[in-house]
Amino acid sequence: MPCIEADGLTHVYFPGTPLEMVALRDIQLTVNEGEFIALVGASGSGKSTLAQHFNGLLLPASGSVRVLGGDTADKKHRRALWRYVGLVFQFPERQIFSNTVFEDIAFGPRNMGWDSLKVARRVKEALASVGLSAEMQTANPNALSGGVLRRIAIAGVLAMRPRVLIMDEPGAGLEPEARQFILAQLKELQAKYGITVLLITHNLEDAARFADRVAVLRAGELLCVGKAGEVLSRIELLQKAGLKAPFAVELAHRLTVAGIKLPVIPLTIEDTARVLYDLMSTGAKPGRG
């Protein structure tokens, strides 16, 4: 079932002025309920602009966007979307204003109209989801590091348990371990609650590890969308989009050039290890050519 449908979506910043800028052109994209999809593209390709159409923050200059059964151009539908579509902005730490971590994370859940017990429970669960302890609740956000603030901002959205979760570069500026932890948690939430996850990233290693499907933007246009395995193994297409294929794909490509053809193109190094192990343990000679 589709949960987001962009149909001929075009976005123009500052229309009719000398600064006019077409940031998205004729985008055709369907995101299915419950899937984990990565939206990748070089800097300036339009990822953040597209994300903001999916929770109704921006409206198309032409074309339409339907989210969870309604058109975002419909004011009533758009105004209700915040409950169901959580968007973690690219630099969420800039949006922390509260005096304690608890207050910050509880902001959204309180607006949902939940009682204080439920709010407190969700805050605690959300903190755990981003790898922070319950003691953190009383801390003053002003005293915390950027990486921790990032996790708190993510927790604030998770606590609302949205049906669709859009994360705009959630890992940028985080330590690799923290990034992996958060993405793995998201994957778990997706499986456990059937949440639809849209991950915006220019890290194709993350896309390879977590996404079912991948959509590639280039200069405001959708270059391609498909299964992660298909899209991420197209080295030339990714290069055209200004992106670097996952290391495992590059490696498989180089092995092929060297005359060692793998039976499948692995996307992660763990996959590579498995494929090579199978090749060796079955004693089969890798294909030449």
Ligand X SMILES: Nc1ncnc2c1ncn2[C@@H]1O[C@H](COP(=O)(O)OP(=O)(O)OP(=O)(O)O)[C@@H](O)[C@H]1O
Q: Which residues bind Mg ion (CB under 5 A)?
A: 47-48, 90
Choices 44-52, 93-101, 143-151, 232-240 (CB under 6 A): range interacting with ligand X? 44-52
Whether the Cβ atoms of residue 102 and residue 123 lie closer than 8 Å to each other:
yes
Please choose which of Mg ion, ligand X, none residue 23 contacts, taking the beta carbon within 5 to 8 angstroms, the exact cut-off set by kind: ligand X
Q: Does 41 bind ligand X (CB under 6 A)?
A: yes
Nearer to Mg ion, 90 or 100 (CB): 90
Answer for which of 1, 16, 43, 75 binds ligand X (CB under 6 A) is 43
**Which two three-digit tokens encode residue 273?**
């290890």
Whether the Cβ atoms of residue 166 and residue 51 lie closer than 8 Å to each other:
yes
Q: Does 21 bind ligand X (CB under 6 A)?
A: yes
Minimal CA–CA distance to 73: which of 85, 58, 84? 58
Minimal CA–CA distance to 88: which of 6, 188, 201? 201
CA distance 171 to 53: 21
Minimal CA–CA distance to 200: which of 36, 40, 46? 40
Q: What is the dihedral of CA 143, 145, 146, 152, to 10 degrees?
A: -70
Give min distance, CB of 61 to ligand X, in A: 13
Query: Binders of ligand X: how many residues, by CB under 6 A?
Result: 13
Nearer to ligand X, 44 or 226 (CB): 44
Choices 36-44, 71-79, 159-167, 227-235 (CB under 6 A): range interacting with ligand X? 36-44
Nearer to Mg ion, 136 or 204 (CB): 204
Nearer to ligand X, 39 or 232 (CB): 39
For 202: left if phi > 0, alpha if psi spans -120 to 50, otherwise beta; the answer is: alpha
Work out the end-to-end distance of the chain between its first and last CA atoms, rounded to an integer number of angstroms.
42
Q: Is 210 helix (H, G, I), strand (E, B) or coil?
A: helix
- List of residues 6+ apart from 219 with CB closer than 8 A: 44, 45, 46
Nearer to ligand X, 93 or 271 (CB): 93
Nearer to Mg ion, 31 or 262 (CB): 31
Answer for which of 5, 7, 12, 13 binds ligand X (CB under 6 A) is 13
Whether the Cβ atoms of residue 109 and residue 95 lie closer than 8 Å to each other:
no
Give min distance, CB of 64 to ligand X, in A: 19
Give min distance, CB of 92 to ligand X, in A: 13
Q: Does 47 bind ligand X (CB under 6 A)?
A: yes
Give min distance, CB of 21 to ligand X, in A: 5
**Which two three-digit tokens encode residue 72?**
């975002």
Give min distance, CB of 200 to Mg ion, in A: 7
Q: Does 49 bind ligand X (CB under 6 A)?
A: yes
Give min distance, CB of 253 to ligand X, in A: 25
- List of residues 6+ apart from 49 with CB closer than 8 A: 11, 13, 23, 24, 58
Positions in the binding site for ligand X (CB under 6 A): 13, 21, 23, 41, 43-49, 90, 202
